Structure 1
């Protein structure tokens, strides 16, 4: 299995080298820093932080209350909902801005249908819910408020077909097949077509050396691109012209087993570092007023 996966990775790396030789070579320079981070995290986990007596026992963590957490805790019968408990704080942090609005929410991974009702309860009567699953039996959860689409999230042609007939998506929650390839295809096909201000959530990004996590690391790098303007607006200031990716991606957030990507409400054109004040230390050149 390891040999097969390594072979596939080398093949993909060669293809990318042929297409983008400079970028591929530059990416190899990141390996030492990547390993340094892995080792640091391992050392911190073995060294321990704080007083062990202050830590709750496994399974006794206290999660902050919010409408989604409260719904889940009260939902003891009916269609099943299966979620990591630490997700509920993440959901509320990034999705509260849509509550009470005419929002289109798409969740991949219908399973037993329980989360469809949870989203409608949270967002309100104006929410339009679309569930996506590869299992035809999930069509049973379709009703006047919820549409169920059957298909393979790892197939780009599936996304092109349903997105052509679907209203723009405000919120995408990928809780589907959980394989990195499915997750990457879904992000590539859906994120560019989501509404401004949209929120893309990918769940179940498990294990070290996860390919989807590596994919998102590439997006992290793209979000940090720097294109300095030769002539800034004012002497001493700095302006970096936004790349097309930066112009529509507001932020990328990492949580245990989850990634959240938020889009700008309106595209931006630049990032500006601006100086205010009249007194400056000379060791960085000071500033001419």
Structure 2
């Protein structure tokens, strides 16, 4: 873990600085660093288990940028898993970079429930799951519903790129309840103990959540 000396105190390198180093759009485009510093700084230099959906194979100049960011930000003790649909891309990246930084790659489709159930049955629980996959409504919703039980109590499930809920290419539409944003809106009622009927069953596992521009962080019961 890189550290700098300031006023007699050791300060860790920020998520923003590390993200910029590896050119992840998490910082230079979306500015998620405000949320990741808040929620993930407690996990630095611990044996945290993190799963991220998506290696970034559609970003030719920055494949694996977030995986490299997680490794440097969280430290050598972290167990970092990546779920990627493109095996050819994943294997090429792993042979040159992934192996060196000790990242574990899995291959499969994040909207294939049968695959996700099999994957879930083989995995121990994670502290953090981050969905930075294909960003379609079905992918985001299916992954949340199926994989959220794989997050330990008190852990985090994070969905990035929520702006796709407003883009038709991804199945989005403004004020449509079938979008990922539409589902998150229902959680406002569903997390309340007095609500008579939970509209989305997965909400029974959600303790609380924070939503910002393009991102939602859910804390799991």
Match of 1:251 in 2: 208
Instruction: Tell whether 2:61 aligns with 1:118.
Output: no
* Secondary structure of 1:250's aligned partner: strand
Instruction: Tell whether 2:35 aligns with 1:90.
Output: yes
Does the 8 Å CA contact 1:134/1:150 hold for their aligned counterparts? yes
Instruction: Tell whether 2:118 aligns with 1:161.
Output: yes
Report the Cα distance in structure 1 between the residues aligned to 2:76 and 2:195, rounded to whole angstroms. 45
* Secondary structure of 1:100's aligned partner: coil
Report the Cα distance in structure 1 between the residues aligned to 2:107 and 2:90, rounded to whole angstroms. 8
Q: Among residues 9, 12, 16, which one is paired with 1:69 in the alignment?
A: 16
* Secondary structure of 2:25's aligned partner: coil
Runs (4+) of structure 1 exceeding 6 A deviation are 244-247
Q: Gaps (5+ residues) in structure 1?
A: 1-64, 229-243, 265-289
Q: 1:250 to 1:125 in 2, by over 3 A?
A: same
Flag the structure with more relative contact order, 1 or 2, with Cα contacts below 8 A and sequence separation at least 6: 2
Report the Cα distance in structure 2 between the residues aligned to 1:100 and 1:153, rounded to whole angstroms. 29
**Offset at residue 74 of structure 1 (A):** 2.9
Q: Gaps (5+ residues) in structure 2?
A: 1-11, 57-62, 167-173
Report the Cα distance in structure 1 between the residues aligned to 2:66 and 2:204, rounded to whole angstroms. 33
- Cα offsets for 1:141-163 (capped at 9, x unmatched): 24272111111100111111112
Instruction: Tell whether 2:143 aligns with 1:186.
Output: yes
Which TM-score applies when normalising by structure 1? Answer: 0.58
Does the 8 Å CA contact 1:139/1:149 hold for their aligned counterparts? no
Report the Cα distance in structure 1 between the residues aligned to 2:104 and 2:150, rounded to whole angstroms. 19
Which TM-score applies when normalising by structure 2? Answer: 0.74
**Offset at residue 98 of structure 1 (A):** 1.4
**Offset at residue 227 of structure 1 (A):** 7.0
Which structure would you say has the larger Rg?
1
Does the 8 Å CA contact 1:66/1:92 hold for their aligned counterparts? no
**Offset at residue 249 of structure 1 (A):** 2.6
Does the 8 Å CA contact 2:50/2:127 hold for their aligned counterparts? yes
Report the Cα distance in structure 1 between the residues aligned to 2:114 and 2:131, rounded to whole angstroms. 17
Higher strand share: 2
Aligned residues: 181
- Cα offsets for 1:124-146 (capped at 9, x unmatched): 11101111111112133242721
